[in-house]
Amino acid sequence: MTLTVPETPRTAQLPPLPHWESTPDDLKAAIREIKPAIRARIAASGRTVEEVFAVVEARIATAVAQIETAKTRGEEIWPVIDYADIAAGTVSAEQLAELRRRGCLIVRGHFPREQALAWDAGIVDYVESNQFFENYRGPGDDFFGSVGSKPEIYPIYWSPAQMEARQSDRMADVQAFLNAQWTSESDGVQWFDPNRDSLYPDRIRRRPPGADSGGLGTHLDPGTLDLWMTEAYQKAFRHLFDGTVESYDPWDAAHRTAGPQYPGSTMCSAFRTFQGWTALSDMANDQGVLHTVPIPEAMAYLMLRPLLADVPEDNMCGVTTNRVFPATQKWHSLLLRAVTPIPDVQAGDSVWWHADMIHGVDPVKDQQGWGNVMYIPAAPWCPRNETYAASVRDAFLTGSSPTDFPAEHYERTWDNRFPADRLNDTGRRGLGLD
């Protein structure tokens, strides 16, 4: 899949932006160069950065106030849709509108509860039969290492349970439904195939009853400085940088599916429409669960905020390489007023959030019940994901850790990992084998 994209006449008239297709050698110097360049481009449109940001801030403030009011009335913020309605095509227009407004979703009964519990038990058998706990070397990265796992995040990718879920028809149904909320084709270009997932492999979490966990601070995962500095992302966020901010659409995939990303210990090489996980246990929403800022448009605020005068000229509100993109009280207090936990979930439900959205995990003391999930996103087939699939295929066939993750490779010698001859058509297509 190749993309050839014409430039519109209007944007061609604005001053071009400098861009770095690989990580700049001097990050602070690059920041000092890109910020005035973006300001100048906005100014050439006849507006100031402050005027453009004020438009975004007003929109976000309205959304935040609506969420705060809904919470005081005891209303559920997260949309909830039954898998049966997704499969039957009977999701209502009102439900679709709420999904797009909030950018997150609970799918009830995505898998039968008994199936999810069986997968959970199967994962235990899988790791115990291979003496994982006896050989566990501790967290392989700084990010999830902060939760205090012993282990909480298992660096396991190729268990039968995970692969069965990834290549299941039920998973494909939900991923296609979520992908369809995005604009995947525009200007004569198909940016991704909404009906084909790339089977992005991720880890599992098992948090036992009585556990203490440090949680994860509010952050987002679509990239770091590359969001401002690479040509593809500059085009993806074109409406923020060319004075047409009212046209910014967080559901527009244009230019997002082929460009490079700066490498780092917390990067995701794939384009995801939604991040997600499937519950393998019942979880109450006060037991160290996922929280999001359920406002997809908040990305515009995050991208423009560093351009204001109160931010040091060599600083992007704390965004740098080799770290997740932080959302903090210092720079983003308006956004964090809307942080909202998921509702209670049962084993077999799945949880999804727009890949640009701020999210975190609350800490917990003396957890009540298990907190077990499989991380499975919606990562549709596109040039970026096709490229990454080549390394995923090798990792799958050799039992290695995928290249986006620490090179721990626990499963290389495990002979009961999911075998290639059990791949179905969805699995083979997702790995680029057909």
Give the pLDDT confidence of 237-248 residue by residue, as tens digits: 999 999 999 999
Q: Say if CB 129 and CB 384 are below 8 A apart.
A: no
Q: Rounded to whole angstroms, how far apart are CA atoms 160 and 126? A: 8
**Short-list 373, 372, 361, 366, CA closest to 211:** 366
Pick left, alpha or beta for residue 132 (phi over 0 → left; psi -120 to 50 → alpha; otherwise beta): alpha
**Short-list 253, 257, 260, CA closest to 271:** 257
Within 10 Å of residue 335's Cβ, how many Cβ atoms? Answer: 23
pLDDT band at 48 (very low <50, low <70, confident <90, very high): very high
Using the predicted structure, report yes or no on whether residue 328 has a pLDDT greater than 70: yes
Q: Say if CB 279 and CB 372 are below 8 A apart.
A: yes
Indicate the average pLDDT of the chain.
93
- Apex 287 CA angle, 284 and 289, nearest 5: 90
Using the predicted structure, report yes or no on whether residue 9 has a pLDDT greater than 70: no
Q: What number is the average pLDDT over the span 133-149? A: 63
Full-model pTM: 0.94
Q: Which helix (H) or strand (E) holds 195?
A: strand 193-197
> Which residue's structure tokens are 């680029």?
432
Structure letter (DSSP) for residue 355: T
**What pLDDT, on a 0 to 100 scale, did the predictor assign at position 144?**
42
Within 10 Å of residue 69's Cβ, how many Cβ atoms? Answer: 10
Give the pLDDT confidence of 353-383 residue by residue, as tens digits: 999 999 999 998 998 999 999 999 999 999 9
Please state whether beta strands 193-197 and 189-190 pair in parallel, antiparallel, or not at all (unpaired).
Answer: unpaired
Q: Say if CB 362 and CB 388 are below 8 A apart.
A: no
Using the predicted structure, report yes or no on whether residue 432 has a pLDDT greater than 70: yes
pLDDT band at 145 (very low <50, low <70, confident <90, very high): very low
Q: Which helix (H) or strand (E) holds 372?
A: strand 371-375
CATH fold of 27-431, please?
Jelly Rolls (2.60.120)
Using the predicted structure, report yes or no on whether residue 148 has a pLDDT greater than 50: no
Q: Say if CB 283 and CB 289 are below 8 A apart.
A: yes
Q: Say if CB 118 and CB 382 are below 8 A apart.
A: no
Using the predicted structure, report yes or no on whether residue 116 has a pLDDT greater than 80: yes
- Apex 294 CA angle, 69 and 296, nearest 5: 125
- The residue extents of the domains of the chain are 27-431
Q: Which helix (H) or strand (E) holds 12?
A: helix 9-13
Q: Rounded to whole angstroms, how far apart are CA atoms 35 and 43? A: 12
